[in-house]
Chains A and B, each alone.
Chain A
Amino acid sequence: MTDTTAPLAAPAPAPPVRTRLETLALYVCLFVLLAVIIFPIYWLVLNSLKFQRDFFTNPPVYFPPELTLGHWGEAMGNPLNQRYMLNTAVVAVISTFTATAAGTLCAYVLARIRMRWRLNGILLFAILICRLFPPVSLAIPYYLLMRQFGLLDTQAALVIAYTGLALPFVTWMMLTFFQDLPKEVERAAMVDGCTVVQRFLWVVLPMSVPAMAVSATFVFIAVWNELLYAITLTTLNAKTIPVAIASFVGDNALAWGPMSALSVASFVPVLLLALAAQRYLIRGLTFGAVKG
């Protein structure tokens, strides 16, 4: 087309040099970002597969000619680590269940039943306040109380602490969910003759399964990764994987291989769960404040 009087209709000219430079700069930034994300993980995985002789070299070995599964064998074959793994799983599953169940019930009442004495407002306020406490301020009384009740170094102690830790989160997430759920369906159930309990079990619960699964996923990940309460409340029997990983730090650092292997092993379940819940991630990250 040679019609220069109609610039709007003219074909797009080849992008000027400036635009191409900008695009190039963007890709450089993207590359840097990818490197910062991927390299550390690569390094961790690599460390779990390197031979011992490749650890303490300068410059470091980025692409070792040979790899070994020896550290994995050592880390995963260790019966203590197996036990810690099992502890972590048991504690995470039970406390995820209790926190999700109790939190969902609470949230339902807060969202749907107007209690006496402005209980709804008071409870919500209390729950939000609880979310703000730094866990450190609770760790010491937990330790002393559990000691008094003979619960130190038991899975029960961790389950109690983690239920408390996760309850405000679950309640808040489920509250935002119930609020978005149209009331009319429950009203229909009321007209159809359901009592509150039937309404909750037959109508509300089946509709809430996805939301509960999302909050449960977040709780599970948080509990699986938790260190402070675990290190305070357990010594051996109920020890969890984060504590085991952290304790490598103490005995100054020759066991980098097994430490890396254990770290990777503890990260894999979390990553899989996070990938599964990806679609709802933003909602979880912002406690339901953003619908994502």
Chain B
Amino acid sequence: MLGRLLRDDRKVGLLFLIPGVAALLFTYVVPLLYSLGLSLADWDIRRPGSQWAFAGLDNYLEVLTSDAFWEAGGRSLVYTLVALPVQLVLGTLVALLLTDERINGKLSALTRVLLLIPLMLPPVVLGILWRLLLNVNYGPTNHLLGLVGIEPLTWVSAPDTAMMAVIMVEVISNTCVVAMILIGGILSLPVEPLRAAEVDGAGPLRILFEIKLPQLASYYLIIILIRLMDLLKTFDFIYALTGGGPGEATLVLNLYIYRVGQRFLDYPLASAASWIFLIILLPLSIWLLLRAVSSSREYLND
């Protein structure tokens, strides 16, 4: 009986899928359905004995008509759309710098290893660390900038500069990701076309823009996909760095939803907000998915 079962590939396949599918079921399907139900309910956890009551789209309407949600959405948009291009450009420059032949090979190899540090730093620690560095009174950043004649900045302690500071920290830590992936790409480029271009008398800029970068197009696509996904999910380091403040200056959507849920305990509203967030993300997600799946068509067996 068991012997027969173990000889049938498809039955064994089902057996192998059980743990994974069960995990997906319990950690995605059930919670998402629960959250969908919650978003359509009227329920207050703070009132003892409160029961779910069907509320239709009330919560959705409340979210959609609240300024706070749209402001948070706007901040997420600004955060993502500023951080992404800046780290792409900086990451490219760092990658080019660390693969430049004029720089001592050992030194650039060492620096490549050091790029791991900002990359692997726990996001909470990243937040904490920059809290110390950017401290207006006792932090070294303002002092060091003062040495080169720059006036002290308020960084994360004033609403008008906080978002800029958050983006700066994000850029510093994730420029390293971009750089590391691109370094891998640059080092795997064939050298002959570069040599040929040199022999043909092309200048360094022409070689860069017409030969090197075009060959890295697929790397940029992957980087953009991955960074976009992660930027839209960012929570940890902003939580530790500013907690969304001061006021609401750095309250991006993820923190907004968290605050509505865990601070104000309005779970139905938070659920509705996260579903709206998901639905807005959907076109982007599907586009990302199709790219990922089409690039891995051969990975599938059917």
Contact = CB atoms under 8 A, between A and B. Distances in A.
Do A's and B's CB atoms come within 8 Å in the complex?
yes
Which among A129, A136, A278 has the highest number of chain B CB atoms within 10 Å? A136
A53 B55 CA distance: 57
Specify the main secondary structure of chain A where it touches its partner.
Answer: helix
A43 B139 CA distance: 10
Contact of B274 (A140, A221, A231): A140
A114 B115 contact: no
A115 B113 contact: no
Given A242-B236, A246-B240, A126 B302 contact: no
Interface stretch (B81-89, B180-188, B190-198): B180-188
Given A134-B232, A138-B31, A171 B138 contact: no
Contact of A139 (B24, B98, B261): B261
Interface in A25-60: 26-27, 29-30, 33-34, 36-41, 43-44, 47, 55-60
Contacts of B292: 128
B52 to A, nearest CB: 11
Contacts of B180: 281-282, 285
A167 B256 CA distance: 27
Contacts of A112: 301
Specify the main secondary structure of chain B where it touches its partner.
Answer: helix
Chain A interface size band reads 35 or more
A164 B25 CA distance: 9
A132 B17 contact: no
Contact of B27 (A56, A161, A221): A161
A128 to B, nearest CB: 5
A289 interface: yes
Interface of A: 22-23, 26-27, 29-30, 33-34, 36-41, 43-44, 47, 55-60, 62, 98-99, 101-103, 105-106, 108-116, 118-121, 123-145, 160-161, 163-165, 167, 171, 175-176, 179, 195-197, 200, 221, 224-228, 231-232, 242, 245-246, 248-249, 256, 259-260, 263, 266-267, 270-271, 274-275, 278, 281-282, 285-287, 289-290, 292
10 contacts: A62-B140, A105-B19, A113-B13, A114-B302, A131-B229, A137-B257, A231-B239, A242-B123, A263-B125, A282-B181
Interface of B: 6-7, 9-10, 12-14, 16-17, 19-21, 23-24, 26-28, 30-32, 34-35, 38, 93-94, 97-98, 100, 102-103, 107-108, 111, 113-125, 127-133, 137-140, 143, 172, 176-177, 180-181, 184-185, 219, 222-223, 226, 229, 232-233, 235-236, 239-240, 243, 253-254, 257-258, 261-262, 267, 270-271, 274-275, 277-278, 281, 285, 288-289, 292-293, 295-296, 298-302
